[in-house]
Amino acid sequence: MFVRRIAVIGTGYVGLTTGACLASLGHDVVCADVDEQKIAKLRRGEVPILEPGLAELVTEGMAAGRLKFVVGARNAIAPQGDSDDPIEVVFLCVPTPMGEGGAADLAAVEAVAHEVRDLLPRGCVVVNKSTVPVGTAARTKQLLGRRDVAVVSNPEFLREGSAVHDFLNPDRIVVGCDQQDAAERVAALYSRLGAPTLLTDAASSEMVKYAANCFLAMKLSYVNAMAELCERLGADVHEVTEGMGYDRRIGQAFLKPGPGWGGSCLPKDTHALMQISEAAGFDFALLTASLETNERQSGRMVDKVRAAVGGSLANKRIGLLGLTFKAGTDDLRDSPALTVAAALRAEGAELSAYDPGCSGEVPGMTDGITVADEVTAIAKDADAIVVLTEWPEFRALDWPALAKVAANRTVVDTRNLLDPDVLRRAGFSWVGVGCR
């Protein structure tokens, strides 16, 4: 394997994982961010996000001299010292948030392109790892205005909470470029991983990311709709999805019903693909239905809680288990738990919450929710306890002890996480999703 000199622009979930993992594969990596405080922390080996294995890789990479952190894209690309060879590959890992009307906001990609275009060494390759609309590689190439610099699309498929594992054990590597040699150079960075590799054109590669995330979103909306139907017909969605999942064309993964799908990726990418479809004059009815099903899902969860506390949420004390968008992360962005919490509050409920990934109140995110640092505080005098995030440790809570402090022994489990028998033995009534 060739060792390459790589710059990674942006040290969020994707950038930091990409930089640390590429360094662990033997490459020389310099990561840049505009946030000076974040870079100062990283230089001290402090990783600002909860991501298993990431801190260890950052420490190892820095100790081996293969991983550096600098402020600003230009400092990553300009020579670091007389002895350093020029950067050969530049990864753009900057945010592409939901902009006006749901379209991806490409301001950060464009700003970096402007900043670095005159600094890029001759013949280097710029790689777009951020999720961007079809045509962005071509647009970036135009913005750079450099005939000698190829722009490659190489979407990331990392899940938060298992990003390092996913990077080092990928199901596939997708690399798209209209210049075959540049695509091959990028694919070669990952050769040690031995993953199936698709070399394609830039537009198809950019589309793969949207196609995959929107398919996953659709799969979850399908399961959530199926759960509702199971409730009406007296079937059990667990049994149904298990039976479906043995079909290898369907698989067992991503079939768990919940309070709706969220996070920083699936909602943003489904809205962006809706925009892309509309702009192309295509009515993507399947996607519209998936989004609508998801919007309904939080309301269904609120209905369950309201029913569990006797028909009105006004002045009811509700203890929430979980706030993050899924277990294993500290990320609250677009969390379905927060959507349900906001709707409960809008009907007059008093909310307290416990989440192992979120230790205090986060302004603008947890407004109106008292965040406790231990679970008894939220169960005390609660009219209902509502499970919103699937943290495994909730299964092992001392439910008989919680039964002693709760005002009303009712649990609404929007993740079907808990063992109903354990709960019932502790004296709780248990309500799940898609089952009786």
- Distance in Å, CB of 203 to ligand UGA, minimum: 18
338 binds ligand UGA (CB under 6 A): no
354 binds ligand UGA (CB under 6 A): no
220 binds ligand UGA (CB under 6 A): yes
What residues numbered 272-331 form the site for ligand UGA, per CB under 6 A?
325-326
Considering only 35, 74, 157, 278, the residue that binds ligand UGA (CB under 6 A) is: 157
Alpha carbon distance 286, 221 (integer Å): 10
Binding range to ligand UGA, per CB under 6 A, among 51-59, 96-104, 152-160, 283-291: 152-160
Distance, CA of 95 to chain centre: 12
Considering only 10, 19, 170, 263, the residue that binds ligand UGA (CB under 6 A) is: 263
**Residues contacting 416, CB < 8 A, separation 6+:** 237, 238, 256, 257, 432, 433, 434, 435
Considering only 146, 254, 278, 342, the residue that binds ligand UGA (CB under 6 A) is: 254
- Distance in Å, CB of 21 to ligand UGA, minimum: 14
433 binds ligand UGA (CB under 6 A): no
351 binds ligand UGA (CB under 6 A): no
What residues numbered 128-147 form the site for ligand UGA, per CB under 6 A?
131
Neighbouring CB atoms inside 10 A of 178's CB total 16
Alpha carbon distance 160, 183 (integer Å): 26
265 binds ligand UGA (CB under 6 A): yes
159 binds ligand UGA (CB under 6 A): yes
Side-chain-side CA neighbours of residue 233 (13 Å): 10
Contact predicate 408/382, CB 8 Å: yes
Considering only 90, 106, 173, 216, the residue that binds ligand UGA (CB under 6 A) is: 216
**Beta carbon nearer to ligand UGA, 61 or 161:** 161
- Distance in Å, CB of 217 to ligand UGA, minimum: 8
Which contacts qualify for 218-223: CB closer than 8 Å, 24 or more apart? Answer: 218/286, 218/287, 218/290, 219/254, 219/255, 220/254, 220/258, 220/261, 220/266, 220/294, 221/261, 221/289, 221/290, 221/291, 221/293, 221/294, 221/297, 222/290, 222/293, 223/254, 223/255, 223/256, 223/257
Q: Where are the alpha helices (DSSP H) in 234-373?
A: 237-245, 266-279, 285-308, 336-346
Binding range to ligand UGA, per CB under 6 A, among 181-189, 213-221, 279-287, 424-432: 213-221
Binding range to ligand UGA, per CB under 6 A, among 212-220, 230-238, 272-280, 379-387: 212-220
Considering only 28, 33, 51, 156, the residue that binds ligand UGA (CB under 6 A) is: 156
Binding range to ligand UGA, per CB under 6 A, among 151-159, 231-239, 300-308, 361-369: 151-159
Site size toward ligand UGA (CB under 6 A) is: 21
15 binds ligand UGA (CB under 6 A): no
Amino acid at 99: G
222 binds ligand UGA (CB under 6 A): no
Contact predicate 62/54, CB 8 Å: no
Catalytic residue among 124, 230, 265, 435: 265
- Distance in Å, CB of 314 to ligand UGA, minimum: 29
Contact predicate 94/10, CB 8 Å: yes
Q: Is 265 a catalytic site residue?
A: yes
67 φ, ψ to 5°? Answer: -135, 120
Alpha carbon distance 410, 435 (integer Å): 16
Q: 147: exposed, middle or buried (C-beta count within 10 Å: 0-12, 13-18, 19+)?
A: exposed
Helix/strand number for the chain, H first, E second: 16, 14
Closest CA to 369 of 405, 345, 343: 345
DSSP-based three-state secondary structure for 195: coil
**Beta carbon nearer to ligand UGA, 319 or 336:** 336
190 binds ligand UGA (CB under 6 A): no
Active site residues: 265
Residues that bind ligand UGA (CB under 6 A): 131, 156-160, 213, 216, 220, 254-256, 258, 261-263, 265-266, 325-326, 336
